[in-house]
Amino acid sequence: MHRSLRQLRPLVPKAPVRLSPFSSVVRHNHQHAPSTSASSSATGPSPNLSSGEPQGTRTTHFGFKTVPEEQKEDLVRNVFESVASSYDVMNDAMSLGVHRLWKDEFVARLHPGARGAKRCIDVAGGTGDIALRILDYAREKHADRETSVDVVDINGEMLKEGFKRFKKTMYHNTPQIAFKQANAQAMPEEEFPSNTYDLYTIAFGIRNCTSVPDVLKEAYRVLKPGGTFACLEFSRVNNPLFGTLYDQYSFSVIPLLGTILAGDRESYQYLVESIRKFPPQPEFAKMIVDAGFTTGGMHEGKGGTWTDLWGGIASIHTGVKL
C-alpha cells in the first residue's frame, strides 16, 4: 500500500493531507485527539524512488537485519504501533522502573523554566513522558506556567497515548502542550520554522531514525541561537563484565517480557537489537559536533559532551547552537 502510493508520487499533485508525498503534519492540540493516520503519516523522502534509481540500492539496519532505507520507516512505525498501548508498562517491566530515574535526571539537567518561559520541542516523544516532566519541572521548581512543549512523533498511535496521558493532567486545554505528527528527519518548515525553539529533546527515539545526521540537521535548524539539543538514548556499556550481564538480560529477558506482557516478541527483539546498532558515545558526540553544535569536551562526565547513566546503559548527549 505504501509502496504503491509512493510510486504514484510523481503523477499525483501535492494535496494538503493524505496524498502528500512529503511528511504530513497534523496538529493535535489539547482539543482534538490525534487521529490514527498510518497511511498518511510521515513517509519521509525516498531518495531511491524520487531520483529514479532502482529500489534497494541504499540499505540500513533494522535491528540486526539489513533492509532498504525506504522500508525502515514503515517497519519502525509498525513496531511502535504494535507496542504503543503497552509502551509504558513495558518500559517499567524491562528497566525495572529505572527509565523513570533516567528521564528525571535528563530533564533535571536541562533546568526548564530557570530563566523564564521556554519553547520546547520533544521529538519522538509520543507518549508524553518527557514533555510532562519538562512542564512539571518548570512549574514546581520555578513557578513557570508559560513554558510550552510541542510533542512531535511520526507515529499517530504513540501520539494518541500521549494525548490520553495529558488529558489527566492540568496541562490539558492549555497552550502549554501541543501534539504534532511529523518526521524528525524532515520537519516541514511552515509548521516548524527555523530558529524557533529554546530546547530540543529526543529520548529513546533517535536510534529508530533512518538517518541520524538528518535528525541532527533538523534539530539545529529549528533551535534558536543559544538553544540546547539534548538526547537521552541507550548506549554502550563500557565495563566488560557488566556489559556481558546486560547483553544476557537484554537478549533473553526483554523479548520474553514482550511475549508475555505485550504478545509481541518480534517488536521487542527489534528494540533490543537497535540499541546495539546505535553508534557508541564518542561517535555520536562527533556527529553532534559535525551538525554544528557547540559541546563540552570530547569526554564523558563533568564538562563533557555526554554523561553515562548506569555505566553506559543509557547516555545523555547535549549540544548548544551558538
Partner 1 sequence: MAAISLRTELLRLAVPLVKTHGFTREALAQSALRLPEPHKEPLSEAAVTSIFGSGDDARRTLIQAWMEAAVLNMKSKSTPPSLLELLESRLKWNEPVLGHLPEAFALLATPKFSSLLPLDPSVAVRHNIHIANEACNLVGSHDIGVRRHLPLESRADVSCITGQLAWHRKRAAAAIAYAAAELVQLAQPESPDVPYKVLKQQLDRSQKALQSVEEVGLFGQYVARSWAGIGKSMGL
In the complex, the residues that contact partner 1 under the rule CB under 8 A are: 109-112, 114-115, 118, 198-199, 225-228, 230, 289, 292-297, 302-303, 318-320, 322
Q: Give the residue with the Cβ less far from partner 1, 35 or 294.
A: 294
Q: Does 184 belong to an annotated binding site?
A: yes
Q: Give the residue with the Cβ less far from partner 1, 17 or 114.
A: 114
d(C-alpha 65, C-alpha 79), whole Å: 14
Q: Does 174 belong to an annotated binding site?
A: no
Q: How far is the CB of 113 from partner 1 (least distance, A)?
A: 9
Q: Does 183 belong to an annotated binding site?
A: yes
Ramachandran region, residue 252 (left: φ > 0; alpha: ψ -120 to 50; beta: rest): alpha
* DSSP three-state, residue 308: strand
Q: How far is the CB of 188 from partner 1 (least distance, A)?
A: 26
For residue 311, the 8-state DSSP code is G
Beta strands of the chain (E only): which ranges?
A: 26-29, 59-62, 65-68, 119-123, 148-153, 177-181, 197-203, 223-234, 297-300, 304-309, 314-320
Q: Give the residue with the Cβ less far from partner 1, 40 or 235.
A: 235
Q: Which neighbouring-strand residues pair with 28?
A: 179
Q: Does 15 belong to an annotated binding site?
A: no
Do β-strands 177-181 and 59-62 pair in parallel, antiparallel, or remain unpaired? Answer: unpaired
Q: How far is the CB of 122 from partner 1 (least distance, A)?
A: 13
Q: How far is the CB of 101 from partner 1 (least distance, A)?
A: 16
Query: How many C-beta atoms surround the C-beta of residue 276 within 10 A?
Result: 15
Q: Give the residue with the Cβ less far from partner 1, 83 or 230.
A: 230
Binding site as annotated, residues for S-adenosyl-L-methionine: 127, 153, 183-184
